[in-house]
Structure 1
């Protein structure tokens, strides 16, 4: 028998050690068996009781939190005086007659009609002004394109427009304003940009609206040119 065919195996802790000139030295895999674990029997009643205990515990915590809700810090400037509150409680309510109630309803109706007519007149005036502006720009474009381009530029002196209108009630000169502290925490985002970020966004919005109006005007001119052809 040749030496190449000789091989020997030695059992080493459930492993086989093999020596062979062809297969070289190697170890086989572990083939140990393990008994299966017994499954635990689950009682549905115990699971149900456990879930109920958890639910009751959570409900108790929620009730405890509801008793101590977060209370906001009172602002004295917004609270009316006690004297005024007592007057409101003791002040008798005036019962209106049917004639006074009807008169107030008629006044409210007349006021609503008046405001509606005023609103319609304002809309008509605005539409006329916009139409005349567009006509003037079209005539200016035919006469001189340089002036037309300058007319489309934004006038920074007119925008933003601020106006203080009439108030609902007249100011009280004898009103004593309550003392209070004011802290300006507005973020202007002007660090690192060199310009005010909010002003820059306003200018961008105005430029976008101007571009949209110019695009609409160009489309209108193209449609009119196609009709004339």
Structure 2
């Protein structure tokens, strides 16, 4: 009897942070909830993109909970491998939560971002706005067990040169589910379209977000590209540390 009681305790969802999602931690899917007030979150992810030729995408990320509803964020994207053209950018933005989720009504946040051209061959400043929706189906906003997420991001290049895209829309839909004590399963589908092209890009992702203890986290995911995607598949390994 004692064994089964201990086993049951291990399955109880006691840590909500594995349900807090961020770009490449462990997939592209993001939730609408900022990190805890006055806390820092440092992340690093490495993604191997299977294409011709293969590319390794590095993404360091820093987030700060300025208030209960406001999160500040800085992120860099760096590519290595191939010809390294358009090999990186730096994003500075915020996430602002508009409401708290109740009775299945989604939590909504807005994320305006300024994107600086810091990679090889890049010279245009970009701007984006992302809308995040998160609905808690099981548990509550403090300790969620099952959540649905939707992201819509519009990216605009006001000074696009020949061959550069002017507008890009990205739709991401998925869910997070606490499957073990401090381990979440994340699945999503990403759809991308560009104004200049009639082709559409799809990406399907599945990943795990796990708390290692002492506020260290690991993210693992795999993805497959469909449609006009130049990425056939990808694998991700990410690490995260939170500071109060």
**Higher RCO (C-alpha 8 Å, min separation 6):** 2
Q: Shared fold (TM-score greater than 0.5)?
A: no
TM value normalised by structure 2:
0.14
- The structure with more helix, counted as a fraction of residues: 1
TM value normalised by structure 1:
0.15
- The structure with more strand, counted as a fraction of residues: 2
Structure number with larger C-alpha Rg: 1
